[in-house]
Amino acid sequence: MTLNEVEPGKEYVIDEIDTSGDDEMESFLFSLGCYSGENITVVDKKRNLVVAIKDARYNIDPELANAIKIRA
């Protein structure tokens, strides 16, 4: 399941990051603290997603959210 498919307000664990070989995107997500085993919460969903990772909030677009696979 991708981050686009989760319910806002619940905490999930990142299973993997699937950027299909896009090293720049993978590096960017890693710099946010977004990597396998880390907790992530979708705070709000509108056009973009507001996510909480390690006590910080980020606004990410659906393409980035689609690369983040979570444990169901």
Q: What is the number of structural domains in the chain?
A: 1
Q: What is the CATH number of the domain that holds 18?
A: 2.30.30.90
pLDDT at 65: 94
The closest alpha carbon to 47, from 31, 65, 35, 30, belongs to 65
Outline where 32-68 has alpha helix (H). Answer: 62-67
- Which pLDDT value is given to residue 59? 96
**pLDDT at 60 (0 to 100):** 94
Q: Which residues of 14-47 are buried (b: 16+ CB within 10 A; e: fewer)?
A: beebebeeeeeebeebeebebeeebebebeebee
Low-confidence ranges of the chain (pLDDT < 50): none
Tell me which residue range forms the domain holding 35.
3-70
Q: For 32-48, how does the pLDDT look when each residue is reduced to its tens digit (9 = 90+)?
A: 999 999 999 999 999 99
Write phi, then psi, for 11 (nearest 5 degrees): -90, 135
pLDDT (0 to 100) of residue 11: 96
Q: Which pLDDT belongs to residue 7?
A: 94
pLDDT of residue 23: 93
